[in-house]
Structure 1
Amino acid sequence: MKTKLLFSIFFISILGYAQDGTLDLDFGDGKGYVLTDYQNGDDGIEEFDIQDDGKFISVGYSYDIDNNQQILVFRNLPNGQLDLSFGTDGFTKLDFIQNGKANSIFDLSINKYDNKIYITGYLYDDNEEDNIDIKSEIFIIRLNNLGELDESFNENGILRTSFGFESAGPATSIVFHDDKKFTIPVAIGSINSQVMPALAKFNSDGSLDSSYGDNGISFFEVPNSDLAIIYSIILLDNGSILGTGMSYNFITETGDLLLFKMTSSGNLDLNFGSEGILLKDIDGLNTALDIDTGYNLAVQSDGKIIVAAQYDDEKLAIIRFLNNGTEDFTLIVLRYKSLWEAIMNARDY
């Protein structure tokens, strides 16, 4: 049986690859790819997920002739054809950006427990995405299997919140619990103050789960950190959550890879790392503008943790940790200068 891979690129283009890396000609009318143009505008895909039936859902942006930004969601059949039963002729357009806000989409995931579609990200002042001294808020969108906004979620299918703070974001990931609750990572703070990482756990209706952490939010302070952002979390079998990201110090202008473990009740696991937290300077230089970030992670069958990271602000690394949060020195840190070098060397491991 062939293992098929899907890749999405700008101008809503979706490519299907067979296991050996050649285009899969069973996908996209014998071409191995499909091109989709929505209303003659500029379009692009950010994230996608695959349903159990082989259909796949994508989310991205569409810009009209006046350059107005809209979130666009669509579904394709396993053969690449647009699924016309989804939304309106295969598309769901979401236009909820107001008051000078723009948005960044970070995740699209299908909840296997209820087949609902979740899209997460954050809103920020337009044209100031890189300015940390701006007000921002996260958003969570939930659609049903037909591509309609799910009105049982926060009454209209869309949740926007800063949790009572001046700034919240960026909602980069989401994990689902078997009771249909879900957890997202956020960074919360006030302008010109420390930005702390946190996990926020929600009930299925979009309300915070008051039994978790501090009324639904579990804050934690990272040592010597002014800004900490979580980029990826995974749910373990015992209900604990592992996460990775970046911790930054404004004075030294350095950023370390962040790895942490949270218990199912929303407390740091004190048996992991140093009181639940591990910070790593990947290349050991710790010089100004040396920023190390964990972007994704996975757990092996033996419990060891693999983190995909970037260091020195431009180079790639793969690091393995033991399940207690100490580094596994049986696997040398793999460092690469480019994505292409990482792909080529990955063949040897």
Structure 2
Amino acid sequence: MAAIRTTTTFARGGIRATTRCVLALLLAASGAAIAGDGDPDPTFSGDGKALFAWPTTYSGMDVLQVSTRAVAVLGDGSVVTVGAFDTAGGSDGFDACGVAKFAPSGALDVAFGLGGWQLVHLDAQPFNDDCVGILPVPGNGMFVIAAKESMARPFEVLGVVKLRPDGSLDTSFGSAGKVLISSQPLGANAGVRFNGAVRAPDGKLVVYGYCTDCGHGSFEDFMAVRINANGSVDTGFGNAGWVSFGRTDATDHYLPEVATALAIDTQGRIVIGGHREDYDDQDDRGIPMLVRLLPNGELDTGFNGAGFRDVDLLGSYNVPAIAIDPHNDGILVAANINPTSGVTPGTLVFRVRRDGSLDANFGDSGLVVLQYEDGTAITALAVRQDRRIVASGWIDPTGADTRNFFAARMHFTGALDDTFDGNGINRYTFSAGSADVQVATAMTLSGERPLIAGLLTPPGPLPDAYTLGVLRLQSDAIFRDGLDP
């Protein structure tokens, strides 16, 4: 179903900006926009927006929910997304991973799976599988990273499923297309949760999340595991393929530390982003933190002298996304304000230099504030080869349980890029019936074009429809030479 083009453009100076911690937001006020840059790409689905309404029933059961967890671009330009698929016949957890595929043109690829979509599960039948990510592989296939959930430790068992371009299982991989990683060296009582996955340039997969009781007390600790392209655990990484990171505070209390993002720099070092909480802080503030590992999984003590650092922004934040500056391996970090009474949701973006120091020359005294109207949140970051930074997420225009896709673009200095829609920011809406809660949850770059995916639902606590929305934006990098780099 094609969406009606309903992009809303912010007029320069015509959007209300708020502040946080006395930080000023300076909007770029000069320079002419390149025509179309930041607008939906009309070569994708006719208006830049592709929709897929998930089925409302499956195998005789009502479909309760389908999320949008990750998006990837295959070698031929096809777009694939993955999210948790839940039916009334499941238990308290999700049933399987729902994968949808679009052709490079933005049309649903009806030759894929069940007519453009496919269920992926780790057992013979869908049961208690959550979704972690989807990653491209050579030959236009894909890896679906999933986790089998249970109430008992280890809580989740990691699985990798390899699909062919048509959605069928690639039986040359693992056991009939699937690999389950049921053992780990973190201890018999360890509990693990997986949050995401990244494909390294050498084809290996790095899956990250957090663990409890894995050698650093009972609170959550950063965790990562590296998997070879054939599905085996890379035992040359960390402790038999696994790494956990935890520590105590000055009073010898273990700290809760949850990993929510990961990126790999040009030297193969792994940067894990997340937040920690103060054991003695009554407000349980979330403080952004980064850990950098050497390619072999050891802590990189060249980063802040310890391999990790906290960035206390004098508030409570979570870290939904990090990205690497390809020029100098600087680390871009998005920190969303944790919702509290009387605080307008918003995001701070900052940059940490490769040595672990905060870059005070970025933005305004080291920070860029993205906080507009009745609230914004960033869910994904990317850095182009020309060092310009793209952020995507959602914006709440009215505070009345209505949200839209949101994107911003910054120069490497942190200044908003006014060649992107005239002022560096834009809102995007889909025409999808009553589904006016439209939240972008994942992004990647197709060449240099942002490709943003998310979930469209009606308002209310138990919406009765779930629609996948995929947005592709035009890019001035394409206009310069006429080619998609």
Q: TM-score, normalised by structure 2?
A: 0.59
From 397, 405, 408, the counterpart of 1:319: 408
Q: Distance in 1 between matches of 2:473 and 2:410?
A: 21
Q: Secondary structure at the match of 2:290?
A: strand
How much has 1:47 moved relative to structure 2? 0.9
2:392 equivalent in structure 1: 308
Query: Aligned residues: percent identity?
Result: 19
1:178 maps to a residue whose letter is T
2:234 equivalent in structure 1: 150
1:205 matches 2:296 = yes
Q: CA 1:50–1:345 in structure 2 vs 1: closer, same or farther (change >3 Å)?
A: closer
1:128 equivalent in structure 2: none
Q: Distance in 2 between matches of 1:258 and 1:89?
A: 45
2:169 equivalent in structure 1: 82
Q: Secondary structure at the match of 1:139?
A: strand
2:331 equivalent in structure 1: 241
1:64-122 CA distance string (max 9 Å, x none): 7999643222112233222233333322223459648462x32211111x322110112
CA contact (8 A) 1:85 1:146 kept: no
2:133 equivalent in structure 1: 47
1:178-215 CA distance string (max 9 Å, x none): 33221111212332424321221101221110111131
1:257 equivalent in structure 2: 347
Aligned length: 330
Q: Distance in 1 between matches of 2:383 and 2:267?
A: 23
1:284-325 CA distance string (max 9 Å, x none): x6xxxx6x4221123456644332133458623323334322
Mean Cα displacement is larger for which, 77-86 or 142-151? 77-86
Q: Secondary structure at the match of 1:269?
A: coil
From 59, 67, 71, the counterpart of 2:145: 59
Mean Cα displacement is larger for which, 49-58 or 329-338? 329-338
Q: Secondary structure at the match of 1:80?
A: coil
Runs of 4+ deviating beyond 6 Å: 64-68, 344-349
Q: Distance in 2 between matches of 1:249 and 1:76?
A: 38
1:141 equivalent in structure 2: 225
Mean Cα displacement is larger for which, 196-205 or 325-334? 325-334
1:92 equivalent in structure 2: 179
Q: CA 1:345–1:48 in structure 2 vs 1: closer, same or farther (change >3 Å)?
A: closer
CA contact (8 A) 1:51 1:110 kept: no
1:206-245 CA distance string (max 9 Å, x none): 11101111311132221x31x2222111111221121212
Q: Distance in 2 between matches of 1:82 and 1:221?
A: 46
Mean Cα displacement is larger for which, 293-302 or 183-192? 293-302
CA contact (8 A) 1:189 1:196 kept: yes
CA RMSD of superposed structures (Å)? 3.5
Greater relative contact order structure (CA < 8 Å, 6+ sep): 2
CA contact (8 A) 1:120 1:140 kept: yes
Q: CA 1:345–1:110 in structure 2 vs 1: closer, same or farther (change >3 Å)?
A: closer
1:48 maps to a residue whose letter is I
2:363 maps to a residue whose letter is G
From 277, 282, 296, the counterpart of 1:189: 277
CA contact (8 A) 2:324 2:383 kept: no
Q: Secondary structure at the match of 2:409?
A: strand
Q: Distance in 2 between matches of 1:345 and 1:148?
A: 35
Q: Secondary structure at the match of 2:162?
A: strand
Q: Distance in 2 between matches of 1:235 and 1:332?
A: 20
1:331 equivalent in structure 2: 423
Gap runs ≥5 in structure 2:
1-74, 86-95, 430-435, 439-455, 458-467, 476-485
Q: Distance in 1 between matches of 2:156 and 2:211?
A: 12
1:174 matches 2:262 = yes
2:82 equivalent in structure 1: 8
Q: Secondary structure at the match of 2:365?
A: coil
Gap runs ≥5 in structure 1:
126-133
Mean Cα displacement is larger for which, 39-48 or 181-190? 39-48
How much has 1:259 moved relative to structure 2? 0.4
Q: Secondary structure at the match of 1:142?
A: strand
CA contact (8 A) 2:292 2:307 kept: yes
1:40-66 CA distance string (max 9 Å, x none): 333343311112343311112225799
Q: Distance in 2 between matches of 1:261 and 1:155?
A: 30
How much has 1:146 moved relative to structure 2? 1.4
Q: CA 1:90–1:107 in structure 2 vs 1: closer, same or farther (change >3 Å)?
A: same
The structure with more radius of gyration: 2
CA contact (8 A) 1:259 1:278 kept: yes
CA contact (8 A) 1:174 1:182 kept: yes
Q: Distance in 1 between matches of 2:226 and 2:240?
A: 9
1:231 equivalent in structure 2: 320
2:198 equivalent in structure 1: 109
2:78 maps to a residue whose letter is K
1:270 matches 2:344 = no
